[in-house]
Amino acid sequence: MAEPFNRETDTIRRRYNRTALFYDWMDKMIPIKLRRKAVEQATGKVLEVGVGTGANLEFYLPGCQVTGIDFSPGMLQKARQKLTKARVPVSLLEMDAQNMIFPDNSFDTVIATCVFCSVPDPIQGLKEVKRVCKPGGRIVLLEHVRSENPFLGWVMDVLNPVALHVIGSNINRETVKNVNEAGIHSYSIEEYSGKIIKLIIASPV
């Protein structure tokens, strides 16, 4: 059984409960074509980490069986309203990405879109992703990251405390570096929007 949320995680969780009412509007920062491209990489038994308000659910291809987790009850409540749009079986669970209850090697695909900006310990969360993905399985991460432009990166660093306090997400995460530190092997990285959005396709081994 998962352990209770720690203080930092619970703080972020409460912020996402607060923003759930308007999060669909915020989610529009990811173009639909790019979101669809990421989700259509998923096959088989799928875990969506940080399912949020369920923006991805309508894009899963037939043949997938999806389990979506989120640590925010407010987000999950909104996601349940989108279940009718899904073409595949979907179950939704309240769970912390840093401490999943699933056994090792449980899923053919693990996917997350704009999630590891908000996980308090992203490397621990990514290690959990690696643990629950089957050997030879696929990890799909669509994430916004810190700009590689020195000035824009500095601006993101300056604004990050505001974004974290208001929304609960970090705008300056170096997610590719975190993926490597978690021991996940990326074999494809596509860059969009001035390299601020990255589509990472990877394997746990």
Task: Please report the pLDDT score of residue 188 as a whole number.
Answer: 94
Domain annotation covers residue 36: yes
Q: How far is CA 48 from CA 106, 155, 159, in A?
A: 12, 31, 28
pLDDT at 117: 84
Q: What is the CATH number of the domain that holds 29?
A: 3.40.50.150
Q: Is residue 2 part of a domain?
A: no
Please check whether residue 163 lies inside any domain of the structure: no
pLDDT for res 74: 87
What pLDDT score does 27 carry?
Answer: 59
Looking at the structure of the chain, the number of domains it has is: 1
- Give Dmax (Cα) for the chain: 45
Domain for residue 167, yes or no? no
Range of the domain at 95: 7-145+173-203
pLDDT in tens, the chain (205 residues): 344 556 666 766 555 555 644 455 455 678 889 999 999 999 999 999 999 999 999 999 999 999 999 988 888 999 999 999 999 999 999 999 999 999 999 999 999 998 998 898 999 999 999 999 999 999 999 998 887 888 888 888 888 788 776 666 777 888 999 999 999 998 899 999 888 899 999 999 8
- 155 in a structural domain: no
153 within domain boundaries: no
In this prediction, residue 5 carries a pLDDT of 58
Please give the structure tokens belonging to residue 98.
């840093």
pLDDT tens sequence across 40-70: 999 999 999 999 999 999 999 999 999 999 9
pTM: 0.86
| Tens-place pLDDT, residues 108-122 | 999 999 899 889 899
Give a yes or no: residue 161 inside a domain.
Answer: no
Question: Where do the H-state alpha helices sit in 20-121?
Answer: 23-26, 32-39, 73-80
205 burial type by CB count under 10 A (0-12 exposed, 13-18 middle, 19+ buried): exposed
pLDDT for residue 28: 61
Nearest Cα to Cα of residue 179 among 171, 192, 188: 188
In a domain, 35, yes or no: yes
